[in-house]
Chain A
Amino acid sequence: MDKRQYYITSGLVLLVVLVLLNLSDQKATRIKLVIGGIFLPLFGMAGSVQQLTGQVANSVTSRSTLLNQIERLQKENQELRQQLMQIQDAWRENAQLRQALSWQKRVGWTLKPAHVIGHDPANWWRTMLIDAGTGEGIRPNMAVLTAEGLVGRVTDVGSGQSRVVLAGDPNCRFSVQVQESRDAGIVAKGVIEPSASSLNRQLVNLIYVPGGSLLKPGQTVATSGDGGVFPKGIVVGHIVDVRTNDFGLNLEARVRLAVNLNRLEIVWVLTQ
Chain B
Amino acid sequence: MNWINTIAILVTAFLIVFLESHYRGLANLLGAQVDLLPALVVYASLNASIFTVATLSTFGGLWLDSLSANPLGISVLPLFVIGSVIHYCRDLILREQLYAQFLLGLAASAAAPLFTLLSLLGTGAEPLVNGWSLWQWLVMAFGGGVFTPVFFRMFLRLNRAFNYQPLPETSFRPDREIKRGRMPHTDY
Contact = CB atoms under 8 A, between A and B. Distances in A.
Contacts of B77: 13-14, 17
Residue among A10, A119, A195, A196 with the highest chain B CB neighbour number at 10 A: A119
A125 B127 contact: yes
Nearest to B35: A121
Contact of B68 (A19, A46, A122, A194): A122
Interface residues of A, number: 50
Interface of B: 17-18, 20-22, 24, 27-28, 31-33, 35, 50-51, 53-54, 57-58, 62-74, 76-77, 80, 84, 88, 113, 116-117, 120, 123, 126-133, 135-136, 140
Interface of A: 1, 5-6, 9-10, 12-14, 16-17, 19-21, 23, 28, 31-33, 35-36, 38-39, 42-43, 46, 117-127, 129, 155, 163, 165, 169-171, 194-199, 262
B73 A20 contact: yes
Contact of B136 (A1, A43, A123, A194): A123
Nearest to A200: B31
Given A13-B54, A20-B73, A118-B22, A194 B127 contact: no
A39 B130 contact: no
B128 A169 contact: yes
A123 B27 CA distance: 9
B55 to A, nearest CB: 9
**Top 8 A-B pairs, shortest CB-CB distance:** A20-B73, A124-B127, A35-B66, A121-B20, A118-B21, A125-B69, A199-B132, A36-B66
B29 to A, nearest CB: 10
If over half of A's interface residues share one DSSP class (helix, strand or loop), that class is named, otherwise mixed; here it is mixed
Given A10-B80, A42-B22, A199-B132, 11 more contacts: A20-B76, A21-B73, A31-B72, A32-B65, A118-B21, A119-B33, A122-B64, A123-B33, A170-B127, A194-B128, A197-B131
Nearest to A10: B84
Nearest to A39: B18
